Amino acid sequence: MKESMENIKNAYLKEEFNISEDVICFVDAVEAAIKTRLAELDEKAEYHQYKVIKAMQRANLSDRHFHPATGYGYDDVGREVVETIYADIFGAEDALVRPHISSGTHAISLCLYGVLRPGDELLSITGSPYDTLRTVIGIEDADVGNGTLKDFGVNYNQIELTEDGKIDEEKVLSSIHENTKMIYMQRSTGYSWRKALKISDMAEIITKVKAAKPDVVVFVDNCYGEFLDYKEPVAVGADLMAGSLIKNPGGGLAPTGGYVAGKEKYVYMAACRLAAPGVAKETGATLDINRTLLQGLFQAPTVVAQAIKTAVLMAAVYDKLGFGVCPGVEDYRSDIIQSIKLCTPEAVKVFCRAVQEAAPVDSFVTPEPWDMPGYNCPIIMAAGAFIQGSSIELSADAPMREPYIAYFQGGLTHYHGKLGLLLTLQRLKEAGIIEKLQED
Ligand X SMILES: *Cc1c(COP(=O)(O)O)cnc(C)c1O
Applying CB under 6 A, does 180 fall inside the site for ligand X?
no
Q: What's at 135, amino acid-wise?
A: T
Nearer Cβ to ligand X (61/387): 387
Which residue from 78, 99, 104, 367 is in contact with ligand X, where contact means CB under 6 A? 104
Q: Is 97 left (phi over 0), alpha (psi -120 to 50) or beta?
A: beta
User: What is the C-alpha to C-alpha distance for residues 177 and 156, in angstroms, rounded to an integer?
Assistant: 12
Which residue from 86, 90, 130, 408 is in contact with ligand X, where contact means CB under 6 A? 130
Nearer Cβ to ligand X (226/357): 226
Applying CB under 6 A, does 310 fall inside the site for ligand X?
no
Applying CB under 6 A, does 190 fall inside the site for ligand X?
yes
User: What is the C-alpha to C-alpha distance for residues 237 and 194, in angstroms, rounded to an integer?
Assistant: 23
Q: Which one of 97-105, 265-273, 307-315, 431-439 is the stretch in contact with ligand X (CB under 6 A)?
A: 97-105
Give the other-Cβ count within 10 Å of 71's Cβ: 8
Applying CB under 6 A, does 132 fall inside the site for ligand X?
yes
Q: Binding-site residue total for ligand X (CB under 6 A)?
A: 12
Nearer Cβ to ligand X (223/300): 223
Q: Which one of 120-128, 136-144, 185-193, 268-276 is the stretch in contact with ligand X (CB under 6 A)?
A: 185-193
The CA angle 341-401-394, to the nearest 5 degrees, is 55
Applying CB under 6 A, does 135 fall inside the site for ligand X?
no
Residues 203-230: b if buried by 16+ CB within 10 A, e if exposed: bebbeebeebeeebbbbbbbbbbbbbbe
Asked if 418 and 27 touch (Cβ cutoff 8 Å), the reply is yes
Q: What's at 321, amino acid-wise?
A: L
Q: Which one of 74-82, 143-151, 183-191, 428-436 is the stretch in contact with ligand X (CB under 6 A)?
A: 183-191
Sheet with 338-341, strands from edge to edge, namely 324-326, 338-341, 405-409, 395-399, 379-382
Applying CB under 6 A, does 188 fall inside the site for ligand X?
yes
Beta strand pairing status for 258-262 and 94-98? antiparallel
Beta strand pairing status for 180-186 and 94-98? unpaired
Applying CB under 6 A, does 221 fall inside the site for ligand X?
yes
Give the other-Cβ count within 10 Å of 183's Cβ: 28
Which residue from 202, 223, 234, 317 is in contact with ligand X, where contact means CB under 6 A? 223
Applying CB under 6 A, does 105 fall inside the site for ligand X?
yes
Applying CB under 6 A, does 407 fall inside the site for ligand X?
no
Applying CB under 6 A, does 248 fall inside the site for ligand X?
no
> Which residues lie near ligand X (CB under 6 A)?
103-105, 130, 132, 186, 188, 190, 221, 223-224, 244
